[in-house]
């Protein structure tokens, strides 16, 4: 089966769109068998896909090729997650640091908050 890597990345839900998959491959964030490749590369079964996200490197082994977008529950039938636990821990630490960065209530008030403020101002005068 002839299949472009960017289409396969899109089909197995690593990227939301094919153009985002193409861009990630072109920038070197997605590699095949630990080598830089082009989006037109034709993946084979048992190839290793490595994906760089923030500070972590995720790796997957290709089991079966598909060019049709599959449901999220079926992804494990097409690729096998071979990411080491240290990399998953690294990514979870990154997510925790991003989550604690913004405290709830910061930023623009919601519509309800705005109404409460307007009511408070009207009653205060």
Contact 26, 39 (CB under 8 A): yes
113 CB contacts (<8 Å, ≥6 apart)? none
Q: Which two tokens stand for residue 43?
A: 């993946």
Greater model confidence, 98 or 103 = 98
pLDDT surpasses 70 at 115: yes
Q: Residue written as tokens 């449901």?
A: 71
Residue among 92, 60, 59 at smallest CA distance from 76: 60
pLDDT at 47: 95
Task: Estimate to the nearest angstrom the gap between the alpha carbon of 25 and the chain centroid.
Answer: 13
Q: What are the φ and ψ backbone dihedral angles of 103, each rounded to 5 degrees? A: -90, 140
Per-residue pLDDT of 58-92, as tens digits, reads 999 999 999 999 999 999 999 999 999 999 999 99
Per-residue pLDDT of 12-64, as tens digits, reads 999 999 999 999 999 999 999 999 999 999 999 999 999 999 889 999 999 99
pLDDT at 22: 95
User: Given pLDDT bands bounded at 50, 70 and 90, which one contains residue 113?
Assistant: confident
**Domains of the chain from N-terminus onward:** 5-124 (3.10.290.10)
């Amino acid at each position: 089966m002839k299949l472009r890597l960017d289409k396969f990345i899109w089909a197995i839900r690593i990227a939301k769109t094919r153009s985002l998959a193409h861009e990630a491959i072109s920038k070197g964030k997605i590699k095949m068998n630990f080598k830089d490749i082009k989006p037109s590369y034709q993946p084979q079964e048992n190839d290793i896909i490595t994906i760089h996200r923030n500070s972590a490197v995720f790796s997957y082994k290709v089991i079966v090729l598909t060019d049709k977008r599959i449901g999220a529950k079926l992804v494990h039938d097409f690729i096998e997650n071979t990411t080491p636990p240290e990399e998953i821990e690294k990514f979870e630490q990154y997510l925790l640091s991003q989550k604690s960065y913004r405290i709830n209530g910061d930023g623009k008030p919601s519509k309800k908050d705005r109404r409460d403020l307007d009511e408070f101002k009207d009653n205060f005068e």
